[in-house]
Amino acid sequence: MKKLVILGAGTAGTMMLNKLNGNLDKSEWQITIVDQFETHYYQPGFLFIPFGIYNRKDVIKPKRDFFPSGANVILSEIDRIVPEENKVLLMNNQVLEYDYLIIASGAKIKPEETEGITGDFGIKAFLIFILLKAPALYQISLNRGKMMPRLRLRRGDSFQRRQKRNGTN
Ligand SMILES: Cc1cc2nc3c(=O)[nH]c(=O)nc-3n(C[C@H](O)[C@H](O)[C@H](O)COP(=O)(O)OP(=O)(O)OC[C@H]3O[C@@H](n4cnc5c(N)ncnc54)[C@H](O)[C@@H]3O)c2cc1C
């Protein structure tokens, strides 16, 4: 039995699990996927929260909803890979052996590592990319002038006025 281990059950890891699970012979392959979180965060959806189009519920879903049935899933933080021994050490003290390893652990945003991006400017620039801060931006848009809805209305109004003036509607 060949062992395939996927590190990270985000977008890439979950897609690999689904594709390979459907294509590899189950009598020859054992596939295991590891992630530290039970929930999936749909990051592109974060962009819609500040404008009131999505809320937290729309971007947070159980990862299991996207796994094929019977998938071997381990919920644990990954400690490290020991490539010379084909092993992965997990924070729950499990040791996984692999023949093939897929590393799909994603990227972490680290604004503090870019000079000048922290402080007031950084807080504003990165609000949308951090789920916990996105609803705060929505609140700002509600409390201080409803940024998007008003912009949209004004544009629509003036567009309609211009059309009327020009007799084009
Ligand atoms: C605001 C925003 C908007 C975006 N918009 C778009 C868009 O419009 N279109 C688009 O294509 N892409 C978009 N992206 C990018 C897209 O979301 C990412 O490219 C995609 O999620 C990356 O997938 P991934 O599988 O590589 O990483 P992720 O989806 O981040 O998955 C990595 C997984 O690895 C796990 N993990 C990491 N380290 C460990 C560890 N030590 N132990 C255990 N588990 C671990 C994490 O818990 C996570 O589940 C956007 C991203 C953001 C932030």
Domain edges within the chain? 1-44+58-106, 117-169
The answer to whether residue 151 scores a pLDDT higher than 50 is no
Contacting residues for 84 by C-beta, under 8 A, at least 6 apart: none
Whether 18 shows a pLDDT value over 80: the answer reads yes
Q: Which residues line ligand 1 (CB under 6 A)?
A: 8-13, 35-37, 43-44, 46-47, 77-78, 104-106, 128-129
What integer pLDDT is reported at residue 141 of this predicted model?
64
**Are the beta carbons of 90 and 78 closer than 8 angstroms?**
yes
Question: How confident is the model over 110-130, as a mean pLDDT?
Answer: 65
* pLDDT of residue 150 exceeding 50: no
| Ligand 1 atom having least distance to the Cα of 129 | 1
Pocket test for ligand 1, best of 5, 16, 35, 92 (most atoms within 8 A of CB): 35
Nearest alpha carbon, ligand 1 atom 48: 10
Q: Evaluate if residue 3 carries a pLDDT over 60.
A: yes
Any idea how long the chain is? Answer: 169
Query: What is the rounded distance in angstroms from the CA atom of residue 77 to the CA atom of residue 8?
Result: 9
Kindly tell me if the per-residue pLDDT of 121 is higher than 70: no
pLDDT digits (tens, 9 = 90+) for 55-76: 888 999 999 999 998 899 999 9
Which protein residue has the closest C-alpha to ligand 1 atom 11?
A: 44
- Give φ, ψ of 128 to 5 degrees: -70, -25
Q: Rounded to whole angstroms, how far apart are CA atoms 156 and 164?
A: 12
With beta carbons less than 8 A apart as the criterion, state whether 40 and 75 touch. Answer: no
pLDDT at 152 over 70: no
Residue among 122, 165, 127 nearest 51 (CA): 127
Kindly state the tokens that stand for 22.
């459907």
CATH number of 1-44+58-106: 3.50.50.60
Say whether pLDDT at 159 is over 70: no
Q: Which atom of ligand 1 is nearest to the CA of 42?
A: 17
Give the max Cα distance, the chain.
76
Q: What does the pLDDT read at residue 63? A: 95
Closest-lying ligand 1 atom to the alpha carbon of residue 105: 34
Per-residue model confidence (pLDDT) at position 27: 93
Give me the mean pLDDT over the 108-135 stretch: 66
Ligand 1 atom with the smallest distance to the CA of 79 is 41
What is the chain's mean pLDDT, rounded? 80
Centre of ligand 1 to C-alpha 45, Å, is 12
pTM of the model: 0.76
Burial of 14 (0-12, 13-18, 19+ CB in 10 A): buried
